[in-house]
Amino acid sequence: MVNAFVIFQKNIIDFTTIDQNGYPVYRRQDDNITIEVSVDRANFIVDEIKMFYDCWYISPCESAWRIFAYDIHYREPSVERLSFHLPDEQTVLFEDNDTLQTTINKATIQEAMFIAWFKANATYELARQLTYNDLPTHFVWKQSIRTWEPRKSAQVIGRLFFVPPSSSELYYLRMLLNIVRGPISYQDINIYNGVIYFSFRDVCYARGLLDDDQEYIDAIEEASHSGSRNYVRKLFATLL
């Protein structure tokens, strides 16, 4: 327990001034009047051992649940979040003292998850039958070696990162990744019926993905799962 009783005596100041830090120092006359007040105080006890056991304690029913290896969170199936990017626009992370060549040679740039999808399509026949969104159902992303390999067990589904319509080409690329199968390059995504299109938006038009309001309906429905009410309202205004 800590108790404190202190008298704070302000200095006698003839005139109000400003100190070197820009704060006012108010005038205080010498009238021989003082006021005694008690300051804030707190009573506390610290028992580190008790705090440790409180943190790690589980009830008998919880321990029995774990002994029998029952599911705890029922988080099934697992979800693999799939990153993607426009050509030469992948995320680059570097330290202040890294050279340009060191940064360019990093595996996170050369072997990004999305780029590795192209390589998996060139290597595996099964991968060429899947969209990028469906790839995790049959392939697993090996983070340590940064490559997609055939899945041997577990049930996993893929989910593309959400992209708002205002992202333009990135938004249209995301639309195409839900239907295009087996590309080994960005150019393959831009091909439809033997014609190479200049932009992802043009390919979407050629495929009939923008002929009706379904594009906007899908965008609003997807945003409603994670976006705030204010964001959904702004999105709706943007689409209008």
User: What's the chain look like in SS3?
Assistant: CECCCCCCCCCCECCCEECCCCCEECCECCCCCCCCCCCCCECCCCCHHHHHHHHHCCCHHHHHHHHCCCCCCCCCCEEEEECCCCCCCCCCCCCCCCCHHHHHCCHHHHCCHHHHHHHHHHHCCCHHHCECCCHHHCEEEECCCCEEEECCCCCEEEEECCCCHHHCHHHHHHHHHCCCECCCCHHHHCEECCEECCCHHHHHHHCCCCCCCHHHHHHHHHHHHHCCHHHHHHHHHHHC
Whole-number pLDDT of residue 180: 94
pLDDT at 208: 87
Q: CA-to-CA distance for 146 and 219, rounded, in angstroms?
A: 31
Give the residues across from 192 on adjacent strands: 195
Residues 6+ apart with CB under 8 A from 194: none
* 120: confidence class by pLDDT, cuts 50, 70, 90: very high
Higher per-residue pLDDT: 184 or 239: 184
pLDDT at 92 over 60: yes
Higher pLDDT, 56 or 116: 116
213 falls in which pLDDT band (50, 70, 90)?
confident
What is the distance between the alpha carbons of residues 118 and 183, in angstroms, rounded to a whole number? Answer: 6
Q: What integer is the mean pLDDT of 83-90? A: 86
User: What integer pLDDT is reported at residue 187 of this predicted model?
Assistant: 92
What is the average per-residue pLDDT within 99-115?
75
Confirm whether pTM is higher than 0.85: no
Q: What's the whole-number average pLDDT of the chain?
A: 81
pLDDT at 2: 43
Q: Is the pLDDT of residue 177 over 90?
A: yes
pLDDT of residue 36: 66
Mean pLDDT, range 146-169, rounded to an integer: 86
% of the chain with per-residue pLDDT over 70: 83
Please list, in sequence order, all residues whose beta carbon lies within 8 angstroms of the beta carbon of residue 117, skipping any fewer than 6 positions away. Answer: 127, 132, 135, 148
Percent of the chain with pLDDT over 90: 27
The pLDDT of residue 190 is above 90: yes
* Confidence at residue 24, expressed as pLDDT on a 0 to 100 scale: 84
Is there a contact between 141 and 148 (Cβ–Cβ < 8 Å)? yes
The count of residues in the chain is 240
Question: Which residue reads 């979407």 in tokens?
Answer: 204
- Average pLDDT for 82-95: 84
* 150-175 CB burial, b ≥16 within 10 A, e <16: eeeeeebebebeebbbeeeebbbbbb
